[in-house]
A and B are shown apart, each in its own frame.
Chain A
Amino acid sequence: MTPNPFSSIPSIILHIDMNSYFASVEQQANPFLRGKPIGITGKHQERSIIATASIEAKRLGVKTAMSTWEAKQICPSLILYPGDPEKYSDITRRFNATYREFTDRVESFSVDESFLDLSERTPDYFGAACIALTIRQRLKEELGEYITASIGIAPNKLMAKLSSESVKPNGLTVTPPQQVLNLLDRSALQDLCGIGPCIEQRLNALGIFTFKQLRTFSLPIGLLLNPSKITASGFMKQLTGETEWMKISCQNHMATLTLCPKIRTIQK
């Protein structure tokens, strides 16, 4: 049996991801949009794309970044609604301020996603889940009941994000260290933040189609350098983005992917 690389990670990280963010904010502001398929667009609707589809629109097949024309074909009842970036950035500022009531270790990852490091706020995952429910209640008081979030709790950012994405909308998914490998084995490669179609293709070319295979696979640098014509560090940069999602340990000219990221704001 492969050893669990997560069992020694003492951190407890929460990832909070607003559901259908721009659309939910508009539905909160304007109750006549609630329960309806809406698509948030740019200023010029006919030439625009769907920046966010409401939960109802997603259920009818509308996807983010679809052209408004295509979205209307798929869902004729779709209400196109112009976005209001000022409003969204004010709400983002406010939910991050709400998170800081619980810990000062908050990292805003995108306009609708943040990471909270709860390692020093609670000794265990039960405590973290209680904090998550309290945060959910505070968000409701602060922003209204229509702006909901999916929350994931795990030993690091990458796994917390994967957890929150596993139940949408309004999910709370707790993945303690002993459950991480289960979560990964249930996930597709592209579910992981940082693995897009290009990297998936490269992994596939190496015979890696699942996390189980990825975990036990040592990536010889030569293989990474050669057919894909990218450097190992370039590969890792794509995998890691700007944050240190994963650490690569190079031993005997073999780069082994180890899933043990750290939260950027708390690096010593």
Chain B
Amino acid sequence: MHQMLHDPVDVIVSFTDNRVLPRRLRWNNRDYPIERVNLVHSAREGTKRIFYFSVSDAANYFKLRLDPEYLEWHLVELYTEG
């Protein structure tokens, strides 16, 4: 199942080697430990730069959107196998 979303989420991150890596995601009152950060990319939105983190756990793919100006995280895509 593939869903496009725009849900505000809480994300716990680590700062390693000048990089921000999402570690844990809280969405819909559930905690999801992030097992893998598969791809990070950025995109321009007007004058600002938005960061996207494509991450996964054992059963789900999540695309997380970070607005570095407001430090806001959103879950924008969810893909669950089956």
Contact indicator B38/A87 (Cβ below 8 Å) = no
**In the assembled complex, which residues on chain A have CB atoms less than 8 Å from the CB atom of B52?**
87
Per-residue 0/1 for B67-82: is the Cβ within 8 Å of any A Cβ (1 yes, 0 no)? 0000000000001110
Contact indicator B38/A91 (Cβ below 8 Å) = no
Let me know if A86 is at the binding interface, CB within 8 A. yes
A81–B42 Cα gap in the complex (Å)?
20
Let me know if A135 is at the binding interface, CB within 8 A. no
Give the dominant DSSP class at A's interface: helix
Per-residue 0/1 for B30-58: is the Cβ within 8 Å of any A Cβ (1 yes, 0 no)? 00000010110111000000001010100
Number of B residues near A (Cβ < 8 Å) is 15
Contact A29 to B61, CB < 8 A, known contacts A81-B2, A87-B52: yes
Give the contacting residue for B81; candidates A32, A86, A87; CB below 8 A. A32
Contact indicator B43/A87 (Cβ below 8 Å) = yes
Let me know if A31 is at the binding interface, CB within 8 A. yes
A184–B64 Cα gap in the complex (Å)?
48
Give the dominant DSSP class at B's interface: strand
**In the assembled complex, which residues on chain B have CB atoms less than 8 Å from the CB atom of A153?**
none
Give the contacting residue for A90; candidates B43, B56, B63; CB below 8 A. B43
Contact indicator B43/A32 (Cβ below 8 Å) = no
A144–B38 Cα gap in the complex (Å)?
7
A residues 33-73 near B (Cβ < 8 Å) are 33
Give the contacting residue for B38; candidates A30, A81, A86, A90; CB below 8 A. A30
Let me know if A122 is at the binding interface, CB within 8 A. no
Let me know if A25 is at the binding interface, CB within 8 A. yes
**In the assembled complex, which residues on chain B have CB atoms less than 8 Å from the CB atom of A25?**
39
Contact indicator B41/A32 (Cβ below 8 Å) = no
A217–B15 Cα gap in the complex (Å)?
64
Looking at the assembled complex, report how far the CB atom of B22 sits from the nearest CB atom of chain A, in whole angstroms. Answer: 14
**In the assembled complex, which residues on chain B have CB atoms less than 8 Å from the CB atom of A90?**
41-43
Looking at the assembled complex, report how far the CB atom of B49 sits from the nearest CB atom of chain A, in whole angstroms. Answer: 10
A residues 1-48 near B (Cβ < 8 Å) are 25, 28-33
A143–B54 Cα gap in the complex (Å)?
12
Contact indicator A32/B39 (Cβ below 8 Å) = no
Contact indicator A91/B41 (Cβ below 8 Å) = yes
A91–B63 Cα gap in the complex (Å)?
16
A33–B63 Cα gap in the complex (Å)?
14
Looking at the assembled complex, report how far the CB atom of B66 sits from the nearest CB atom of chain A, in whole angstroms. Answer: 14
Closest residue of A by beta carbon distance from B50: A86
| Across the A-B interface, the 3 shortest Cβ-Cβ residue pairs | A29-B54, A86-B43, A30-B61
- Known: A30-B61, A90-B42, A91-B41; 11 extra A-B contacts, CB below 8 A, are A25-B39, A29-B38, A29-B61, A30-B38, A30-B54, A30-B56, A31-B38, A32-B56, A81-B2, A86-B43, A90-B43
